[in-house]
Amino acid sequence: MNIGAHVRGGGKLVPSLQAGVEIGATSLQVFTQSPRMWKPSQYAPEVLAAYREAQAAHPTITDTFCHATYLINLASPDRELYERSVACLTSNLSVGRGMASSGVVLHVGSHMGAGFETVIKQIAEALERALDTADRAPDGVADCPILIENAAGTGGTVGRSLEEIEALIGACGDDERLGLCIDTQHLWASGVDYSSVAGTKKLIKQIDDRIGIGRLRCLHLNDSKIELGGNRDRHANIGEGTIGSKGLAPLVGHPKIRDLPLLLEVPGSGDGPRAEDVAQARKVVTAGVKLYGATKSAARATVTTKPAPKAPATKKRAATATKSAPTKPAATKPAKKPATKK
């Protein structure tokens, strides 16, 4: 298993590795700038290089993810806000690529009541602009994808269902540089009950059928202060919310989930994840693995060495096609995919 945590990155970034080690995390998530300010942090090339080298050489931290700024709203009807959002995402992605991050996690934003269908095109254009104009990854470094995070469903938030995320990726021509981050609290708040083995198996099938399980690169592992279907983003420490340890176990113990980076975004005692939160998460994953009668992954209770580099995520259906297609179709002919497919 790979239990990670959101930690403070700091101006030099490298200290975040030690912050993760101190609480027993084996993967990290950081903000590369203030999550609630537009001004981007400027990192000298040597700072980014130092982080790449430290991460590559680290004996226990396997992955670093970056979380994009909360202010970003790619669905905004306000053109000025939209352009600032694209520029901010582009900056966050440039830093992520420079760090050799495993992904930049993104809250897409809110259509402010305009309706999802009306904003698909402008969101797709924003995603493609950021992917194409951000600084390229250094030579020899794997590209950093944008990972669309599912939303809790408040107001007009975009990405509140797998159908919406599928439609966004489809509007970008199934661009391989787009992936998925599932937040367990947001999923619960949006009405998805995965608290049983049957419920989890149904969810995994939906992810694979709609988006492709290969695009799922990490999970945000959180309990919920909100009831099932409450449509609000309120995280709780593992075992202290309405999902509970038993409710989380079937999902995080599933064979296609258990070895992904599971990133804690819990409040802890007020300053974020603690060592005891990491330890509790490990217990939940171990209990979940037992639900499936598996022993192979349970034996790897602690990650001590880095896995081999992962191949770029591709959509399952694309991988089985008999004819190859361009990675990105012309901008005027986005792939059409219904957002309400069952």
Give the pLDDT band of residue 339 (cuts 50, 70, 90): very low
Q: In whole angstroms, what is the distance from residue 285 CA to residue 298 CA?
A: 8
- 11 pLDDT band, cuts 50/70/90, is confident
pLDDT of residue 79: 96
Do the beta carbons of residue 294 and residue 250 sit within 8 Å?
A: no
Given a contact cutoff of 8 angstroms between Cβ atoms, the answer to whether 314 and 176 are in contact is: yes
User: Is residue 35 very low, low, confident or very high in pLDDT (cuts 50, 70, 90)?
Assistant: confident
User: For 59-87, how does the pLDDT look when each residue is reduced to its tens digit (9 = 90+)?
Assistant: 999 999 999 999 999 999 999 999 999 99
Of the pLDDT bands very low, low, confident and very high (cuts 50, 70, 90), residue 165 is: very high
Residue 36: per-residue pLDDT: 85
Query: For the residues 13-33, what does the mean pLDDT come to?
Result: 95
pLDDT at 330 over 80: no
- Lowest mean pLDDT across 7-21, 100-114, 320-334: 320-334
Q: Tokens 């080690």 map to which residue?
A: 21
Least confident of 34-38, 130-134, 235-239, 278-282: 34-38
Mean pLDDT of the chain: 88
Question: Which tens digit of pLDDT belongs to each residue from 174-227?
Answer: 999 999 999 999 999 999 999 999 999 999 999 999 999 999 999 999 999 999
The mean pLDDT value for 153-158 works out to 92
* Model pLDDT for residues 225-234, shown as the tens digit of each residue: 999 999 999 9
* pLDDT confidence bin for 9, thresholds 50/70/90: confident
Question: Which CATH class for the 2-318 domain?
Answer: alpha beta
Q: What percent of the chain has pLDDT over 70?
A: 86
Residue 25 has pLDDT above 90, yes or no: yes
| β partners of residue 30 | 66
Are the beta carbons of 238 and 277 closer than 8 angstroms?
Answer: yes
Share of the chain above pLDDT 90, in %: 80
pLDDT greater than 80 at residue 7:
yes
Residue 236 is predicted with a pLDDT of 98
Whether 286 has a pLDDT exceeding 50, the answer reads yes
The answer for 78, left when phi > 0, alpha when psi is -120 to 50, beta otherwise, is beta
Token digits for 83?
């352009």
Q: Can you give the pLDDT at residue 304?
A: 34
pLDDT for 88 beyond 60: yes
Q: What is the 3-state secondary structure (H, E, C) of the chain?
A: CEEEEECCCCCCCCHHHHHHHHCCCCEEEEECCCCCCCCCCCCCHHHHHHHHHHHHHCCCCCEEEEECCCCCCCCCCCHHHHHHHHHHHHHHHHHHHHHCCCEEEECCCECCCCCHHHHHHHHHHHHHHHHHHCCCCCCCCCCCCEEEECCCCCCCECCCCHHHHHHHHHHCCCCCCEEEEEEHHHHHHCCCCCCCHHHHHHHHHHHHHHCCHHHEEEEEECEECCCCCCCCCCEECCCCCCCHHHHHHHHHCCCCCCCCEEEECCCECCCECCHHHHHHHHHHHHHHHHHCCCCCCCCCCCCCCCCCCCCCCCCHHHHCCCCCCCCCCCCCCCCCCCCCCC
pLDDT digits (tens, 9 = 90+) for 94-112: 999 999 999 999 999 999 9
Task: State the pTM of this model.
Answer: 0.85
| Cα–Cα dist 292/298, whole Å | 11
Q: What was the pLDDT predicted at 34?
A: 87
Domain boundaries, the chain: 2-318
